């Protein structure tokens, strides 16, 4: 059975999602560390600004450990036009290998490793981008699509 996650849809409505809900559609599933941080905001806005180029090619879903409330604020503040999922227990992130050890200023900790996955219409991973650099990433995804 597919795990259910709380999220915010493209219209800002809170609802439950399971990855099985997207069977029959290609999905760009991207993991990011935290709402309203500089890199995460830039990545989200890049996806937002490219939605017309992504339309008909894939559904975009952003995932972070932030709460649904945080996602709603993030979505409203930046006019995001795609789904954001809350993964506070990093279940989905672990499933995709996007949760792991990181290092900042010499201190090691566990967190989201910025990653993107393209799922085919059956939900299988057909492409993955690991340790993503934000600049130009959405263009890389579009080129592959």
Q: Which of 40, 44, 60, 93 is catalytic?
A: 40
Place of tokens 């890049």: 46
Catalytic residue at 40? yes
* Most distant pair of Cα atoms in the chain: their distance: 44
Kindly list the distances between the CA atom of residue 129 and the CA atoms of 16, 63, 78, 121, 140, in Å, as whole numbers in the listed order. 26, 15, 24, 18, 9
Q: Are 32 and 111 in contact (CB under 8 A)?
A: no
Kindly list the distances between the CA atom of residue 55 and the CA atoms of 24, 34, 42, 49, in Å, as whole numbers in the listed order. 15, 25, 20, 11
**Hey, which residues are catalytic here?**
40
């Amino acid at each position: 059975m597919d795990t259910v996650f709380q999220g915010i849809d493209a219209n800002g409505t809170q609802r439950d999602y399971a990855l099985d809900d997207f069977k029959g559609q290609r999905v760009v599933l991207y993991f990011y560390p935290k709402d309203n941080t500089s890199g995460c905001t830039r990545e989200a806005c890049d996806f937002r600004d490219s939605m017309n180029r992504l339309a008909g090619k894939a559904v975009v879903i952003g995932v972070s450990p932030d709460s649904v409330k945080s996602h709603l604020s993030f979505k409203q503040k930046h006019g995001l036009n795609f789904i954001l999922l809350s993964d506070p227990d990093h279940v989905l992130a672990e499933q995709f290998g996007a949760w792991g050890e990181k290092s900042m200023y010499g201190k090691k900790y566990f967190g989201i490793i910025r990653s993107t996955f393209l799922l085919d219409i059956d939900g299988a991973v057909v492409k993955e981008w690991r340790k993503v650099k934000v600049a130009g990433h959405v263009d890389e995804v579009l080129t592959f699509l």
